[in-house]
């Protein structure tokens, strides 16, 4: 934390390019000489910009002499590495911004271009190592801008099959390692974000969710080599600045919040972040997952307008698809993509404290969704995906119905009629007759919690299993009509006795 404060506390502004002791201070428009990036000067900045433009224009044959020019300029005029354009970007900022490969390039060009790229980076950092902590107008370092895209190419060499070999032979990754030097990982931008925040909210990378939905996590670590590269970058940022994993930006979001809510970020990254938090020995990571749950922010997306049907929320759209039964629940989950996958990951981590492949018999997903009071649509979807979990007991010996009745039974933004216990009863009416390990029936739980009135759910639970009226609650020894009278619900007491007046004989 001391390192973070010293780097982000600012300091005196640079008065000239010769002053190398105050990198990272607040931006001063008079600190550096300014120039127009569109003119044809031969500064290092202009040459780097020209390098990026030629590559995008596929002017591949002109790259080698241009790289030589950059090398000579860095050695002869190292002060130019401190110069900034009107946005405050240095040459290293611009190089970090173009750390991507066009999709039309061949395998040979990928190899040669990345070699040129890393050479330019080495020339700049050899001439001025502290260029890694230069700030632009938005207080972003080159690492911030690199992390926004993670230096990931649009494509990898076609012969690449092993993630480790790709990372090992990819020269962009060593360039990333150099950008993390001199405390750049601890630098905050204008929005109080570390590079880890930006890397977790990846921009411009299209990721595909795993084709196989065989398990509760829906995560395949080898699904994409691009995702594997991304994960290695995330891991290194955490390793270099572990405390940044707990820091919040100006919107109150941690890196995990950013990753979980970003549709462009691989769900495998979310799994890595959660795993690191769970392995934190002092328990702070588990506290972050439960008390400052990123699941809360993620779940809010279910109540946003659906991209398919803007007039309906995502939750309403899911319910409609489940009711119409035109698509399988696995197809619905696949369409939801990272929204559903990240919900499963965070919910499982919060309830069971793990992101490892778990046993469906001991850690059911349906129970976890009920315990975290997930939206009605999520519970409905999980019931369709895993119908066998409906009659499983939780770790505490509760059935799915008693577990729902012990909690609130619904998300705060759901309609009052959309409760998890009502969805469970509709899917499996026999749940009303299932005891928990204490011998209590759902009717006993519903009355003891005193959250349901007769006309607001209690009658539905009673109707599903009328014989419960003659069963005493093992914990109190009272019949249901006695329980309602004890809590002062006399209207329910009247209705229960009216349904079976014989209960009054010998019990009053």
pLDDT tens readout for residues 363-406: 788 998 998 888 999 999 999 998 888 888 888 888 999 999 88
User: Which of 39-48, 199-208, 309-318 has the largest mean confidence?
Assistant: 309-318
Share of the chain above pLDDT 70, in %: 72
Residue 141, pLDDT score:
92
**Does residue 473 register a pLDDT over 80?**
yes
- 247-251, 258-262, 469-473: least confidently modelled range: 258-262
CA of 377: how far to CAs of 168, 323, 344, 505, in Å?
A: 43, 11, 13, 45
- The arithmetic mean of pLDDT across residues 280-306, rounded, is 73
Q: What's the pLDDT band for 248 if we cut at 50, 70, 90?
A: confident
- 152-156, 291-295, 425-429, 452-456: least confidently modelled range: 152-156
Q: What's the pLDDT band for 150 if we cut at 50, 70, 90?
A: low
* Average pLDDT of the residues of the chain: 76
d(CA 368, CA 351): 6
- The arithmetic mean of pLDDT across residues 53-61, rounded, is 68
Q: What's the pLDDT band for 508 if we cut at 50, 70, 90?
A: low
- The arithmetic mean of pLDDT across residues 408-429, rounded, is 86
Share of the chain above pLDDT 90, in %: 11
- 2-36 pLDDT, tens per residue? 444 334 443 323 223 333 333 333 333 333 333 44
Q: What's the pLDDT band for 218 if we cut at 50, 70, 90?
A: very low
**Does residue 157 register a pLDDT over 50?**
no
The pTM for the full model equals 0.71
d(CA 14, CA 22): 6
**Does residue 175 register a pLDDT over 90?**
no
Check: CB of residue 484 under 8 Å from CB of residue 493: yes
CB-based contacts of 359: which residues, under 8 Å, 6+ apart? none
What's the farthest any 2 CA atoms get from each other in the chain? Answer: 105
> Which ranges constitute the DSSP H helices of 43-191?
44-56, 63-76, 91-97, 107-127, 142-149, 163-169, 172-179
**Does residue 172 register a pLDDT over 60?**
yes
Q: Of the candidates 216, 218, 209, 230, which has an alpha carbon nearest to the alpha carbon of residue 147? A: 230
Which structure tokens are listed for 79? 């002060």
Of 266 and 242, more confident: 242
* 3-class SS of residue 119: helix
Check: CB of residue 500 under 8 Å from CB of residue 470: yes
Q: At what angle do helices 329-336 and 338-352 cross, to 10 degrees?
A: 100
- 9-13, 111-115, 131-135, 147-151: least confidently modelled range: 9-13
Q: Which residues are bridge partners to 305 per DSSP?
A: 313
Check: CB of residue 52 under 8 Å from CB of residue 94: yes
**Does residue 358 register a pLDDT over 70?**
no
Q: Which residues are bridge partners to 140 per DSSP?
A: none
Other beta carbons within 10 angstroms of residue 239's beta carbon come to 11
Residue 361, pLDDT score:
54
Of 388 and 168, more confident: 388
Q: What's the pLDDT band for 263 if we cut at 50, 70, 90?
A: low
Residue 9, pLDDT score:
41
- 218-227, 248-257, 312-321, 415-424: least confidently modelled range: 218-227
Residue 433, pLDDT score:
92
Q: Phi, psi (5° rounding) for residue 469?
A: -65, -20
Of 171 and 505, more confident: 505
**Does residue 46 register a pLDDT over 80?**
yes
């Amino acid at each position: 934390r001391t390192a973070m404060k010293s780097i982000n506390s600012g300091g005196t502004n640079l008065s000239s390019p010769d002053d190398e002791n105050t990198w990272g201070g607040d931006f001063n428009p008079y600190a550096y000489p300014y120039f127009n990036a569109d003119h044809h000067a031969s500064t290092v900045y202009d040459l780097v910009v020209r390098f990026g433009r030629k590559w995008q224009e596929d002017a591949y044959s002109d790259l080698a002499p241009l790289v030589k020019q950059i090398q000579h300029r860095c050695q002869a005029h190292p002060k130019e590495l401190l110069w900034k354009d009107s946005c405050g970007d240095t040459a290293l900022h611009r190089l970090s911004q173009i750390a991507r490969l066009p999709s039309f390039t061949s395998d040979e060009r990928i190899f040669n271009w990345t070699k040129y790229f890393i050479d330019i980076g080495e020339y700049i950092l050899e001439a001025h190592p502290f260029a890694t902590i230069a700030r632009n107008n938005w207080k972003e370092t080159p690492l911030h801008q690199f992390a926004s895209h993670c230096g990931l190419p649009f494509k990898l060499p076609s012969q690449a099959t092993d993630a480790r070999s790709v990372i090992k032979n990819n020269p962009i990754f060593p360039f990333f390692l150099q950008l993390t030097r001199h405390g750049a990982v601890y630098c905050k931008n204008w929005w109080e974000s570390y590079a880890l925040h930006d890397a977790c909210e990846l921009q411009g990378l299209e990721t595909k969710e795993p084709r196989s939905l065989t398990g509760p996590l829906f995560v395949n670590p080898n699904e994409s080599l691009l995702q594997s590269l991304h994960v290695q970058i995330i891991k290194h940022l955490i390793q270099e600045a572990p405390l940044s994993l707990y820091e919040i930006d100006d919107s109150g979001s941690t890196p995990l919040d950013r990753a979980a809510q970003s549709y462009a970020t691989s769900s495998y990254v979310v799994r890595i972040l959660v795993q690191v938090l769970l392995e934190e020995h002092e328990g702070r990571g588990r506290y972050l997952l439960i008390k400052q749950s990123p699941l809360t922010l993620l779940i809010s997306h279910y109540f946003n307008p659906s991209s398919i049907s803007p007039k309906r929320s995502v939750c309403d759209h899911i319910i409609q698809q489940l009711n119409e039964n035109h698509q399988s629940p696995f197809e619905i989950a696949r369409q939801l993509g990272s929204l559903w996958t990240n919900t499963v990951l965070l919910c499982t981590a919060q309830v069971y404290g793990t992101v490892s492949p778990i046993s469906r018999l001991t850690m059911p997903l349906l129970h976890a969704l009920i315990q975290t009071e997930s939206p009605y649509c999520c519970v409905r979807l999980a019931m369709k995906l895993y119908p066998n979990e409906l009659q499983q007991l939780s770790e505490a010996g509760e059935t799915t119905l008693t577990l729902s009745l012990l909690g609130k039974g619904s998300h705060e933004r759901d309609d009052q009629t959309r409760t998890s216990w009502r969805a469970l009863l509709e899917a499996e009416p026999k749940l009303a007759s299932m005891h928990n390990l204490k011998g209590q029936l759902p009717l006993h739980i519903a009355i003891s919690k005193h959250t349901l009135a007769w006309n607001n759910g209690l009658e539905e639970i009673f109707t599903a299993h009328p014989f419960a009226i003659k069963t005493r609650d093992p914990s109190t020894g009272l019949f249901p009509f006695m329980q309602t009278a004890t809590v002062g619900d006399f209207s329910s007491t009247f209705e229960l006795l009216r349904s079976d007046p014989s209960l009054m004989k010998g019990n009053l």
